Structure formats: C-alpha cells, structure tokens
C-alpha cells in the first residue's frame, strides 16, 4: 500500500470504467465498443502519430489498433494491468513495428531530423483532464536527468530501439538500458502509478 498516489486517468464515477466496458466488448457488445472508442481513440491516434509522424499512415495504424481492441477484448486481463495500458501497449507496439518494418533501407538521418522537431506536449486534445495530466507528466519528465529523459523519450516517442538510442546519444548500450529503467522508475514514482 502506498500512502499517496494520484488517481489513474479514468472516467467519472457513475459511468462504467474501461475495464468493465472491455468485458462487454468481449461479449460482442458494439455499444460498449463505441464507448471504449470514445475513451481510447484519442490516446491511440496520438501515440501512433507521435511515433510515425505521418498522418495517413498513423490513421491506418490507429484503425488497426482499434479493430484489434475489438478482436482481442477477451484477452484483456485486469490482473495484469489497467485497460488503458493494455490498449496503449497494443498501439505503441504496432506503431513501433511499423517504424521498424519500414526502416529497412530508410535513411536514419530522416528519423533523427524528425526528432529534432520534438514537441511531446503541444498537440494534445483540449480537455482539462488531459491538460492536467500533460502538465504532471512534464513536471515528472523534468525531474529526470537529461540522459534518462532522452533515453525514455527517444524510445517511447521516437520509436527507437535502445541500440539506436545508444548510437544517437553516443553512450554505451548498458548505460542506455540502465537509464531507461531508472528513468521509468522515477516517472512511475512521480506519477504515482499503482503497482
């Protein structure tokens, strides 16, 4: 038990939570899926676009992810984590897979250049909850060392492997792995993520 933690992003009281909705989706409930869509489509599209950068491609991948949520809802297990994190894991992994499969022969410089216009927080949908969450995230990111922050954000928002991050930042592989882990530990504690 932890004395203080900030609540996970989740919906208002009185409305069914994402977990419950997914259970209904697993039973083929299309109405429940529409409500899931309302909650996750923005985050899914946002993270995919963040990684891929190309709007047309991102829409295609986001669509695949959402269909996968429908298809695989029965695979979600609340004992293994929150519903939102289940969805976001699917989304991020799909986006990263797309980057890596498209990467063969692609100029690495292009992707590096893409990251220079790295603005993780400026394109977010206008909702109070999201804005507060974004501010909290920024505060927490600011609490990391530069190397931790770069390792985490290049990997997550840039879709880079830790080997690529190591090359980009000119640090040893072991260092990058450690910084990613340390960075996530700090972020987790700062955000008050339940464990």
Applying the rule CB under 8 A, the residues between 133 and 192 that interact with another protein are 133-134, 137, 152-153, 155-157, 159-162, 165, 173-174, 176-185, 187-188, 191
Paired tokens of 127: 């909702």
Enumerate residues 91-120 that contact another protein by CB under 8 A. Answer: 91-93, 96, 120
> Could you give the maximum distance between any two Cα atoms of the chain, in Å?
51
Q: Which residue, 21 or 152, is less far from another protein as judged by CB?
A: 152
Q: Which residue, 15 or 118, is less far from another protein as judged by CB?
A: 118
22 is a contact residue toward another protein (CB under 8 A)? no
- Return the range that interacts with another protein (CB under 8 A); candidates 13-21, 47-55, 104-112: 47-55
2 is a contact residue toward another protein (CB under 8 A)? no
Q: Crossing angle of helices 128-142/146-156, nearest 10°?
A: 130
Backbone angles phi, psi at 173, to 5 degrees: -55, -45
Q: Which residue, 16 or 130, is less far from another protein as judged by CB?
A: 130
Q: Which residues contact 41 (CB under 8 A, 6 or more apart)?
A: 62, 66
| Count of all residues that appear for the chain in the document | 195
| Tokens 């969450």, located at residue | 133
């Amino acid at each position: 038990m932890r004395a203080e933690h900030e609540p996970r992003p989740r919906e208002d009281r009185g409305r069914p939570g994402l977990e419950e909705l997914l259970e209904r989706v697993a039973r083929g409930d299309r109405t429940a899926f529409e409500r899931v869509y309302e909650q996750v489509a923005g985050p899914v599209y946002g993270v995919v676009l963040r990684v891929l950068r190309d709007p047309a491609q991102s829409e295609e991948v986001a669509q695949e992810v959402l269909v996968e949520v429908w298809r695989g809802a029965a695979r979600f297990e609340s004992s293994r984590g929150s519903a939102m994190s289940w969805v976001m894991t699917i989304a991020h992994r799909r986006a990263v897979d797309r980057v890596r499969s498209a990467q063969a022969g692609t100029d690495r410089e292009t992707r590096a250049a893409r990251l220079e216009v790295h603005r993780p927080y400026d394109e977010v949908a206008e909702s109070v909850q999201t804005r507060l969450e974004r501010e909290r995230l920024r505060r927490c990111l600011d609490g990391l060392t530069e190397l931790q922050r770069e390792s985490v954000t290049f990997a997550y928002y840039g879709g880079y492997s830790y080997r690529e991050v190591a090359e980009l930042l000119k640090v040893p592989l072991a260092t990058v792995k450690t910084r990613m882990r340390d960075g996530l530990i700090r972020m987790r504690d700062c955000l008050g993520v339940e464990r």
